[in-house]
Each structure stands twice: as C-alpha cells, then as structure tokens.
Chains A and B, each alone.
Chain A
C-alpha cells in the first residue's frame, strides 16, 4: 500500500465565482450599466416592486429585468407587459443565482444600450446571500407579515445589502410588527444600509426608493 500523502490544497471554493463577479462588474462599469440584485423571500413583493419601479423610472432610464425562477414564466410575463425587456432564467431547482447564470441572462440582452438591469433573484433569504452575482448594488425586501425578527434569523442577507425595502406597510395595523425594533436590529448588522418603508399596494414610499435609485445611477456613472 502506498503511503498517505498530505496535500495542501488551499483553494477558496467560491473563488471562481468571485473572480467572475469582479470581471463582470468591471465590464458593466465600462458600459455604464448598473446591475442591481434584488433578493427576498417568496411572496415579499419582488415582482410588485419591479412593476412600481419600472413605472417610475422607465421614461428616465433604459431598463431590463432578468427573472430567476425555479420553473415558471409568470413573473417574466408581468414584466414584459410593461414594455421593458425581460429575460426569464429557469434555475431548474437551483436555490440561488451565480455569476455564470447571470451572464447567460445578460447574453440575451443588448447590455451596452441599458442604464439599469435588475436581477430578480430566486425567492430565498439564505442562499442568494452567499453568492456574488456581479451586481453593483444588492437590495432586499422584507415584507411586514414575515416579522421583525428576520434580521436575527438571516444575518448574512441583511449584512450584505446596500438597501432594505420594508414592503406591505399597509398591513402594519393587522400585525404586531415593530418597525423601530426592526430598524435597530438591521442597523446593528449593517449600519450603512438604506431603509425604505414602502407599500407596493398604496404606493407609499416608492418615490423615496426610486429617488435613491436615480441618485445611485448618477453616482455610478460619475465615479
């Protein structure tokens, strides 16, 4: 029997993805196309937020959406109805998107002609937090019925996002959701995060969010 050898591997498992993400960010920066990664649980309002956001911004910016869904085209059809280009990626059971999948979606779009591309990630607060998609800005939605304790359960997601949208504020009177406590919990994980309280149903807070997004596009192009 041969002797047992100890081989030092010293490789980062996600290194390929991280390197591809950096490369994609540089490429999109050179075209001034801002890629945004939108994450949330199923039913938090990702598609509703996209529809509101597109409604506010489509006259000012050239936009497209990449929809990731395990196996349906329902969301892509809703987006297509707004006149914005949308690409459906079926993740085939995958719980998250990685750069390779995002690039596949981007191949189908004429990216240099666009100002903003939004990725609607798979509905899930766990896995999408671990994989860099190549996006410049990570945004998440938490909806009021999910509860104010979610930052305690999914700290990684809350700590990596640039913006948090607290959706369905119109349901506040029917729940014991504590908004101040949520802010406190989120800020402890991520002091720099921008928090927007919104309702896609009533339109509350949408303008504050789209104004921030406009500013983000301007800053991105300038820097």
Chain B
C-alpha cells in the first residue's frame, strides 16, 4: 500500500547514481525486497513509470528479487527459511522450539544494481 513512498525513494537514489556515473539512460534496476513486505511488484512498476517521466529513468524496467524470510532459533541457533503464510506456525526443526526466533532476513528494501548507458 505504501508503494508510492518507496518508489519516490528508489527514483531519488537511482537518479543520484546516474549523475555520479555520468550515464544518460537507465535501462533496468534490480531491487531486493524481503518476502515479509507487502509490496506488490506491479504497483511499484506502475508508480515508477509515472514518477520517472522526463528523467533519466523514464522507461526503466524494475527487476524485483524477493529475499526469503529466514529466522534464527534463539534456543539452538539454527536458521530456518519459511514462507510468509507459515510465519505464525514456525516450529524449529532442530530443537522443536516454537517461540524464540529472530528475523535474519525478509524485511529488506534494497537497490542492488542498475543497467545504464
């Protein structure tokens, strides 16, 4: 739902990098977004198309790599990859603990790289 705010930040950052690298056109941007986020790929692209008009990023394709949700069991230190739907029902395969996990990844909002000319 907050794709617009996130998209504005992405545009700011890539325009800055385009200037630093003296490129005239950004072809594609690769984002790494955690599975836990509720961001919809289609809407990010849609907002980006709108916001990037008349900038070096106009017409850029956003490639979104989802980073999996990885938890660490604080009892036995084992890491577990889990789907969002299963998040409320995690049982540690190592020690059968159910309660004490910390999030290792899955909340990222990261711009990895961009292709430009």
A and B: interacting chains = yes
The contact of A188 among B1, B99, B108, B111, by CB within 8 Å, is B99
| A11/B23 in contact, CB under 8 A | no
A:182-198 near B, CB below 8 Å: 185, 187-189, 191
Q: Interface 1/0s, chain B 13-31, versus A by CB < 8 A?
A: 1100110010110010101
| Bound CA–CA A16/B24 (angstroms) | 25
- With both chains docked as a complex, state the minimum distance between the C-beta of B89 and any C-beta of chain A, in angstroms: 7
Which residues of chain B come closer than 8 Å to A2, judged between CB atoms?
Answer: 24, 117
| Bound CA–CA A2/B26 (angstroms) | 12
Q: What number of residue pairs across chains A and B have CB atoms under 8 A from each other?
A: 101
| A13/B88 in contact, CB under 8 A | no
The contact of B112 among A9, A16, A127, A131, by CB within 8 Å, is A9
Q: Does chain B have a CB within 8 A of A180?
A: no
The contact of A155 among B5, B21, B36, by CB within 8 Å, is B36
Known: A4-B27, A191-B100. A11 touches B115 (CB 8 A): no
The contact of B13 among A5, A9, A152, A191, by CB within 8 Å, is A9
| A5/B111 in contact, CB under 8 A | no
| Bound CA–CA A12/B12 (angstroms) | 12
- With both chains docked as a complex, state the minimum distance between the C-beta of A123 and any C-beta of chain B, in angstroms: 12
B:75-117 near A, CB below 8 Å: 84-85, 87-90, 98-100, 103, 107-117
| Bound CA–CA A5/B21 (angstroms) | 9
| Bound CA–CA A10/B114 (angstroms) | 10
| Bound CA–CA A16/B23 (angstroms) | 24
Q: Does chain B have a CB within 8 A of A14?
A: yes
Which residues of chain B come closer than 8 Å to A5, judged between CB atoms?
Answer: 21, 23, 115-117
- Contacts A7-B115, A10-B111, A127-B1 known; list 7 others, CB within 8 Å: A7-B116, A9-B13, A13-B31, A13-B111, A94-B5, A130-B37, A188-B88
Chain A residues within 8 Å of B, Cβ to Cβ: 1-14, 16, 94-96, 98, 124, 126-127, 130-131, 151-152, 155-156, 159, 185, 187-189, 191
Q: Enumerate 22 A-B pairs (CB-CB under 8 Å) in ascending A order.
A: A4-B116, A4-B117, A5-B23, A5-B116, A5-B117, A7-B21, A9-B17, A9-B111, A11-B13, A12-B109, A12-B110, A13-B31, A14-B6, A14-B109, A94-B5, A126-B2, A126-B38, A131-B5, A151-B88, A155-B84, A159-B103, A191-B99
